[in-house]
Chains A and B, each alone.
Chain A
Amino acid sequence: MFGATLLLAMRQIRRHLLRSSLTTIGIIIGVAAVITMVTLGKGLTAQIQKQIASLGSDVLIAFPQETDQNRQPRPFKQDDVIAVRQQLAGVRSVAGEVNQNVQAFHNGQNWSSKVEGVSDAFMDARGIGMDQGRRFTPAEEEAGANVCIIGPKVLQEIFVAGISPLGEQVRLNDVSCTVIGVFASRAQGGNNQDDDNSVFMPLKNVQRRFTGADTIGYIVISYDPAYSSATIQQSLIDLLRERHHLQSGQPNDFNIIDSAALNDTVSSVVARLTMAVAAIAGISLLVGGVGIMNIMLVSVTERTREIGIRLAIGALAREVRLQFLTEAVVLCCFGGLIGIFLALGISFGLAKAIDVPFIFDPFVNALSFVFSAMMGIIFGYYPARRASRLDPIEALRHE
């Protein structure tokens, strides 16, 4: 019986193919919009998480921050780095960084890049690996030697492909240095290419020859995961406040980012944003449902005679109701299915276009499908009930 009802529904839909297709467009767009939004949201979250992960895990980053308009924030110095290293329990490695945009010259090529003043400890703290060559020696750091470790992007842009750059000279603005290594790519998912377009030099050298000051941009601290992030952060705040001679009541003139907490915050913000946008997209699904209801009502009116015949022959009210309900649900399921395929295409294309990973989530797809079927039940119920309540004789007389 149910098989026959299903078959009948399919036939009815095929009989009015154009009308059926037009009607399902609402559902198709609704389902496609919801799935696309959720899929892109997932991709975005994954990408942000990856980027945050590239900060390194169990890492705190402290940087100066203005407290009010008139006063410049007090910048960090190498003394602060040393104080953290010596006085803070649970610290694994700590390093300062300062950077400046430069033009890099090599082999007659000119390339816009960035010089970063760093140390061996910096590479430990940020978890940066090496592709070729070696890292800075303590002697080089102490002396501020003219040696550099280039990023993979710089290597690709101005060095000869396939030939080792080690020992080559590269000029940054008017400072020449010898390439001693190439660091491993920090880019995640092809995105933060900026991090790879960089040249590392000993911190002292950058301060002396580029920035001309003994200040540093930020301090990066990697800590023992046995210590809680909150404990480390509190002792770091206490230490930095003391060093900056801040009275109680004065706000911090620095800010601390915790990679784990940042990850949680950003992920939850993106998740909520995704939900909000998906909910708005869901409204179009609702509109689609109303369209289904409308066309089912038209269909019931058109087929009044058919309903009369079925009732006269012995169909029960619930059998007529089931027939029309099945039709609405089948219509919505088709819409849902097409919507899923459409969403697959659109979200794949959009993910490519805005450069986030495409993550197929079977749960969201299944849920949307079930939801569109439910639309069929909800919006098909009233027309189906109307059909089932017809009086057989009056229905038969209908022209």
Chain B
Amino acid sequence: MTGESLIELEGITKTYGQGTAAFQALKGVDLSIAQGEFAAIMGASGSGKSTMMNILGCLDTPTSGTYRFKGVEVQAMSKDQRSLLRRRYLGFVFQGFNLLARTSALENVELPLLYRGEQKALRREAAMKALDLVGLGPWADHTPAELSGGQQQRVAIARALVTEPEVLLADEPTGNLDSERSIEIMELLSQLNRDGISILLVTHEAEMAAYAGTIVYFRDGLIERFERGHRNGARVTA
């Protein structure tokens, strides 16, 4: 199932701020992720994991370096072209959820489909399905303010999954969940990976990272080491 390269990074740097206030969060990252891979990114707080994910998710552009997604250089794309790429291929779970306030869980999950131009009935159905998948069917009408942190996180996951993306990028998707829920979500992600979705996941917990085939360790804006061919459900069954 894993095969041709999906993501290729060469010498990616990211500098925040300018002059004396400048801070280099990424210091030259080389990384290659294959189609169908399940990779976990680990590392200390502030090591640049979220910065990395934003670049991988085509939300942010690197200060220097080359990012090829399916062989196409992303840093050369316009803002709208990157939007179209995200819309078509990517699902993103933000560390801070980023749900629309005062908008029901259902409508939050529907949003990516709206921008894909799907019909209302289809949007409803797919969004309901995604919410059921994360166990939030009964909460469909609740707004984020009426949901717990863990529930909000699961809405964010449903929103990333609803478009059935080719690549799922998740920045600590289980950060606010108890271990039972976390395992449920990880099982779900493993299942999706077996179905062919490539997954990139940031996590602090080794228990969660264990689900991944590859573990990338970050330290101070650089990749410290890889662990490939890790004990992984997808690998074992494949």
Query: Which residues of chain A have a CB within 8 Å of any CB of chain B?
Result: 1, 4, 15, 305-306, 308-319, 391-393, 396
Contacts and interface: CB of A to CB of B under 8 A. Distances in A.
Interface string B138-166: 00000000000000000000010000000
Interface in B92-113: 92, 94, 96, 98-102, 111-112
A4 B84 contact: no
B70 interface: no
Nearest to B91: A313
Contact of A393 (B60, B114, B116, B117): B60
Given A1-B114, A4-B114, A396-B94, A312 B102 contact: no
A393 B80 contact: no
Contact of B111 (A15, A310, A317, A318): A310
B100 A311 contact: no
A20 to B, nearest CB: 16
B231 interface: no
A316 B80 CA distance: 5
A309 B83 contact: no
A312 B59 contact: yes
B88 to A, nearest CB: 8
B101 A319 contact: no
Given A308-B98, A309-B100, A316 B83 contact: yes
Contacts, number: 59
Interface of B: 54, 57, 59-60, 79-80, 83-84, 86-88, 92, 94, 96, 98-102, 111-112, 114-117, 120, 159
A314 B98 contact: no
Contacts of A313: 86-87, 92, 111-112, 115, 159
Contact of B112 (A314, A316, A391, A393): A314
B79 A393 contact: no
A314 B54 contact: no
Contact of B83 (A4, A15, A306, A315): A315
A110 to B, nearest CB: 77
A312 B100 contact: no
A311 B111 CA distance: 11
A391 B114 CA distance: 21
B182 to A, nearest CB: 24
A15 B117 CA distance: 25
A114 to B, nearest CB: 74
A193 B88 CA distance: 78
Given A1-B117, A319-B115, A312 B60 contact: no
A34 to B, nearest CB: 37
Given A314-B83, A314-B112, A316-B83, A306 B117 contact: no
Contact of B84 (A314, A391, A396): A314
Contacts of B83: 311, 314-317
Contacts of B92: 312-313
A318 B102 CA distance: 24
A4 B112 CA distance: 13
B115 A314 contact: yes
A315 B115 contact: yes
A392 B78 CA distance: 13
Given A309-B100, A310-B111, A392 B84 contact: no
B86 A396 contact: no
B54 A317 contact: no
Nearest to A306: B100
A312 B87 contact: no
A10 B104 CA distance: 16
A393 B59 CA distance: 6
A317 B92 CA distance: 19
B221 to A, nearest CB: 17
